[in-house]
Structure 1
Amino acid sequence: MNDLPVPHLVTGVRRETADTVSITLAPAGAEALEPFAPGQFAMVYAFGVGEIPVSVSRIGRRELVHTVRAVGAVSAALCALRPGARVGLRGPFGTGWELERARGRDVVVVAGGIGLAPLRPLVLAALDTRRAHGRLNLLIGARTREDLPYADQVRAWAHSHGALHCGATVDRPSPGWWGHVGLVTTLLNEARFVPENSTAYVCGPEVMIRATARDLLHRGVRADRIRVSLERNMRCATGHCGHCQLGGVLLCRDGPVIGWDRAASLLDVREL
C-alpha cells in the first residue's frame, strides 16, 4: 500500500447518469498499486483540488474503474476529467466483500442507486466462480431509470436467463421502464435463495441498508452472513481524522464492509 499518490492516466470516461461518471485509470508509469479486492477503495487525488475515497467498480489486470458522483469539489473535478488526464491513487484500503464467505451458499446482492458501484466487482467475481456458489441474485433499486448506473449491463443481466437472477425497481417509473416499481426489498419475493444457506451483500443509502438487513433477518438469513458497506462515512482512509468513527469502530481501518451483526449496533449508537 502506497502512502504517496501513484500517478494514473485516465484511459476512458463513461457517463452513467446526469451526475455520475465512471473513469478508467491505468498506471502512468512502471509503478502500480497492489491488487484490489471487490469492496476495497482507493484515495483518488484530483491534482490541485484534493482527494476522496472511492470504491473500485471494476478491477482489471492493470486498469481500475471508479464510479464517481459529483457531490463536492473533488468529485466534481474527477467527473470533469477527460481521457489523457492524470490523477493520483493510493490504496488499496479497507475490507472487502469476502466472496469466499459464500462458498457453497446462495448469494443475494442488494444495491441502492450508486451502491451498485462497489458491488459490481463482487457480482462479476461471483459469475467468474459460478460453480463455487449456489444461486446468484442481484437486486437493484433506484429513484428513477435515469438514476440507474450501468443501465445497459443491468438490462442485459435482467433479460438474460443464465446463472444470475437480476431484478431492478425504481421509485418513479418513466416511459420505457422495463422493470418493477417500488422498494428494492420487494424484489426479495422473487429472488431464488434459501435464507438459512445464503450470504447477502448490501450497499446503498443507510435507510435502504437498514430495511434490507431487517427483511433478510426476518426471512432467516443470519446477521453475520449479511455484509454491508458503510463507505459513505469514510474520509481519510487512515483512521486518524475520526470522521468515520462509529462507536469503537473506525471504518477506514476496520471497514467499510462489515457484518450486520456489528453494523446494526454501530448505527444505533450514532442515533443516540
Structure 2
Amino acid sequence: MIPAIYRIDRRLIEHPGAFTLHLSATGALPLQPFEPGQFNMLYAFGAGEVAISLSGRQRETEGQIAHTIYTRGAVTAALGRLREGDQLGVRGPFGQGWPLGEAEGKELLVIAGGLGLAPLRPVIYHLLGQARASLIPRFQLFYGARRPGEMLYVPELQAWSRQMDVTLSVDHADSAWSDHVGVITKPLSAAEFDAENCVAFLCGPELMMRFSIQVLLERGVSPESIYISMERNMKCGTGLCGHCQWGPNFVCKDGPVFRYADVRHWLGIRSL
C-alpha cells in the first residue's frame, strides 16, 4: 500500500513527551473510515514509518484523522519536529478494533494507563454520541498516569466527567491534585459495576493491564468479556514481515485488540 499524503492542520502538545497531530488528506482519495482501536502507519520523510493508533473522532469530516504520538524513537522524534502545514505519509487503517457491538446493552469499563487512553478515545467519542448513548446503560472510565502533568486530553477529561463516570489516579501527586493517588487498580477494586453484565476495554502498560485483569476476574468478570490492546514493533501492518508476532498471532493483523480469553496464556509470558 502506497502512503497517502496528509497535511498537518493542527499540532497540539498534550504534555512534554506527547503531542497530537490533526491531519487532512491532500489528494482525492483519503483513507477509508476507521474503526476505534485501529492504527495507521505514519511515514516521516527521510526517517521511516511507525505504527500509531487513531485517536480522533471516528466520523470526522471526510479525509481528516488524528494521532497522538509519544516521542521515544527516531521516527516519532522526526514526526515531533513537523509543524502545521508540513506533510507526511499515511497508510491504513490496519488491524482489529474494539468490539463495540459486544458492549451494547451492557455496562462498559474503559481502563487506560498513560498513552493507552489514545486508542480508547475514539470509543468514548463514539459512546458519547447522542444516538449511541442509549445503547450502553452505563460506562465508566478509569485512567491512570504517573503524574498529573502526564495525563492526556485534560480539558476533555473534565468535559467527559459531566457525561460519564470518570475516575483518575496518579502514582505521584502534586499539591493541586485532588483525585486518587496510587495505581488505577485501587479505585477499580472498589468501583460499582455489574460483573455479570459488563464488558471491559483495556489499554496501557502490560503490567497495568495484567493487574487490572486480575481485579476484574476476582470481581467476577468473565475472561470472554475482557478485551486488551497490545503494542509490538509493527513494520508492515499486514502480517507479512513478522516483527510483531506474539505467540501464534500477528499484532498488526490479528490485533491490536484481542479478547483476553483467547490470549491469556501469551499475556502471562513475560518478554514475549
| Match for residue 143 of structure 2 among 137, 140, 145 | 140
Structure 1 pair 234/191, CA: closer, same or farther in 2 (3 Å)?
farther
Change (3 A) 1:232 1:170: farther
What does 1:56-135 correspond to in 2, within 5 Å?
Answer: 56-59=54-57, 60-62=60-62, 63-128=64-129, 129-135=132-138
Match of 2:221 in 1: 221
Distance 2:10 2:101 in 1: 31
Equivalences for 1:136-175 in 2 at 5 Å? 136-158=139-161, 160=162, 162=163, 164-175=164-175
CA distances 1:8-40 after superposition (whole Å, capped 9, x unpaired): 000000000101000001101211100000000
Task: Tell me the distance in 2 between the aligned counterparts of 1:14 and 1:256.
Answer: 25
Match of 1:49 among 36, 47, 50: 47
Gap runs ≥5 in structure 1: none
Overall identity of the aligned pairs, in %: 41
| TM-score, length of structure 2 as denominator length | 0.94
Q: Tell me, what secondary structure is at the counterpart of 1:264?
A: helix
Going from structure 1 to structure 2, the CA distance change for 1:270 and 1:237 (only over 3 Å counts) comes to farther
Q: Which moved more, 1:227-236 or 1:55-64?
A: 227-236
1:22–1:67 contact (8 Å) kept in structure 2 = yes
CA contact (8 A) 1:137 1:191 kept: no
Matched residue, 1:4: 2
Alignment RMSD, CA only?
1.4
TM, length-normalised to structure 1: 0.94
Q: How far apart, in 1, do the equivalents of 2:180 and 2:233 lie?
A: 30
SS in 2 for 1:57: coil
The answer for the alignment partner of 2:242 in structure 1 is 242
**Equivalents in 1 of 2:243, 2:254: separation in Å?**
13
Whole-angstrom distance in 2 between the partners of 1:156 and 1:61: 22
User: Please, which runs of 5 or more residues in structure 2 have no aligned partner?
Assistant: none
CA distance in 2, matches of 1:245, 1:77: 26
Residue 222 of structure 1: how far off its partner (Å): 0.8
Instruction: Classify the secondary structure of the residue corresponding to 2:196.
Output: helix
Indicate if the aligned counterparts of 2:49 and 2:235 stay in contact, CA closer than 8 A.
no
Report the alpha carbon displacement of residue 214 of structure 1 after superposing the two structures with TM.
1.1
Task: Measure the CA separation in 1 of the matches of 2:268 and 2:112.
Answer: 22
Aligned-pair distance for 1:271? 4.9
CA contact (8 A) 1:137 1:192 kept: no
Inter-partner Cα distance in structure 1 for 2:106 and 2:215: 19
Tell me the distance in 1 between the aligned counterparts of 2:65 and 2:271.
36
Query: How far 1:191 sits from its partner (Å)?
Result: 3.4
- Residue 143 of structure 1 deviates from its aligned partner by 0.1
Partner of 2:38: 40
Q: Given residue 145 of structure 2, which amino acid in structure 1 is its aligned partner?
A: A
